[in-house]
Amino acid sequence: MTVVFTDIKNDIAVITIDNPPVNALSHALRSELSNALEGINNNTKIIAAVIICAGRTFCAGADIKEFGKPPLSPTLPDLMEQMDEFEKPLIAAIHGTALGGGFELALCCHHRVMDVNAKVGLPEVNLGLIPGAGGTQRLPRLIGLARALQMITSGKPINAEKAKKLGISEKVSEHNLLEDAISFAKGADVRRIRDLKVDGSTEEVENFQNKIARRSRGFLAPFAALDALKASMELPFEEGIVFEREKFMELVSSSHSKAQRHLFFAERAATKVDGIDKTTPTRKINHVGVIGGGIMGCGIAINFLSAGMAVSLLEISNEAVAAAGEKIRNIYQSMVNKGRISEEQMQTAINQLNLITDYDGLSNSDLIIEAVFEDLNVKKEVFRKLDNIAKEGAIIATNTSFLDINEMANVTTRKSDILGLHFFSPAHIMPLLEIVKTDDTSNEVIATAFQLAKNIRKTPVLSGVCYGFIANRMSSCYGREAGLLLLEGATVEQVDQTMFDFGMPMGMFTMLDMAGIDIGVMARAKLPNGSYDERAFSIHAVLVEKGHKGQKTGAGFYLYEGKEKKHNPEIDKIAEKMAHDFGISRCRKTTKEIEERCILALINEGYKILEEEIALSASDIDVVYAFAFGFPRYKGGPMHYAEHLGLKYVVDRINEFAVQYGDRWWKPSSLLVKRAKESE
């Protein structure tokens, strides 16, 4: 199938790329474009050439399916070298998005004309890569080092207006892109970016490295990008291109990039559910009801208000509902103060908020989400009331973190309309949305939930019903091992530092102090005896009894002066006493044991969740833990990391822990054992 077409318009060659759906720079496209350029270069009647794309976008980038495979000639760098030698003015006419290799293709042209709604960028860093076809060498020559540093290490695209301001494009087309590009081409000259000098200094690179050190902790790609950008100043263009390519190839084969590419595909695969496709009907959600005006309920409401939906928020009294309204206004004001939204956007959102104290005010809602106290009986009572007042076809959802949604659905006459929408705190910031289907949730309701997640810019993953669903069920196992390690001789600081060094954004005990230790203690108090390891959470219970609930009380696993945390010597005393009471011998713990106890507990529970079909796929579990708890993206999620370690090694270590600590909690998943044998 031909994907590149050439037409001559008034001595201007128009090269049209048509490789749906996103004009990826596949081998076939590169080959045909190379041939087209050669023919045009040899045609003395043609004075200039315009490259434009059919469909909804300019070239969206390299064909990611070719990563890791032997390169086929012409490679993208080969094509770029040919374009560098092109003897006639070459203009890129950009619409949609020109990302990655697509933007590098445009940078290799002599000039760029952009549609008013177009965007350009180099997002390779998000895949654990750097631009590999000249992006780190051409962009700083075009816009200066400082601006190139920001664009390449953030991976964020920029719009046409900003691109023109930076000097990336010379013209923004507000009418007919092709006509404007042809008109521009008639008076254009040959301007090769490779011949420009970089405006910048080595000191700028060093300062920028210090600036991004924290946010890029553990990642390889941002720092490789800095090296390549530095080379754009210190090396001739041709040598800089070679240096960039070497760095790119190192990253392609690295475990970091493989992990980040895994998550890239996993996030997209999570929206694909058997039995649900584009033909599955969905319900319109224009008005949302939220029950509960606490931090979680207010955060949930903000998601929908910011997406342009009307929200009715219910609380039990005028005082409570006024306090909820104040919380929401304060959160929006904070966004304004930080420059994330305008005053006008804040006011538009708040104008869509209706504060109510009567359930009848929810009767016209298309979706109602309860975010009340985490007690099954309380939630059942809410569902009974909603069953009586909600309109026909309304979706009723719970934000429960742990409880049995089937039991909530069973008190209604509309079980197919019930599901869980589990947001993570703070709900207006955290990107994950666990969509929890009951035994009776209809496909129409599930499909609506996925569409809704897209509308409010959340990453959705489907889960079945079990205690804690995917995210919190796994996290409880991580927390179990962290708690036991304290009794066995590790310190709070040692456990937290080990997991921070592994790549987690914070350690378990820092996270518990931030969230409030009392929340978990109250949840476990309602569980039947024997359903969790009481030893592991014994320190938590003692702290709460003393009123030490974390940051909010100034003491928890750490002591706090403001947000600054310090060692809490009382933890050492409590741990020693609890260890004595439970007959646990204490000894020094190694970093390796701490890391493996915590991470392998996650992995083993993940396989049990998969085995029970609570999760649809291992990659769904990776998405959940990466987005809910910050599992390092460069390790791909617990399930991907298990394969990196080797499944046989994982099983062997779990069996060793089972011998040492008992197999009640360390019995390996039968699916994990099966997969390990298959991998040998």
Which residues are identified as catalytic?
104, 124
> How many residues are listed for the chain in this entry?
680
**DSSP states of 408-435:** HHHTSS-GGGEEEEEE-SSTTT--EEEE
User: Phi first, then psi: what are they for 613, rounded to 5°?
Assistant: 65, 30
**3-class SS of residue 393:** coil
Cβ burial 411-420 (10 Å sphere, 16+ → b, else e): bbebbebbbb
Geometric angle at alpha carbon 443, from 440 and 444, rounded to 5°: 115
Q: How far apart are CA 516 and CA 65, in angstroms?
A: 44
Contact 360, 354 (CB under 8 A): no
Q: How far apart are CA 513 and CA 553, in angstroms?
A: 9
Give the burial class of 480: count Cβ atoms within 10 A of its Cβ; 0-12 exposed, 13-18 middle, 19 or more buried: buried
Contact 547, 553 (CB under 8 A): yes
Residue type for 371, please?
A
For 622, other C-beta atoms within 10 Å of its C-beta total 29
Residue type for 198, please?
V
**Residue 163, CA distances (Å) to 113, 139, 189, 445, 555 in order:** 10, 12, 20, 42, 50
Contacts of 515 (CB under 8 A, 6+ apart): 425, 550
Contact 317, 358 (CB under 8 A): no
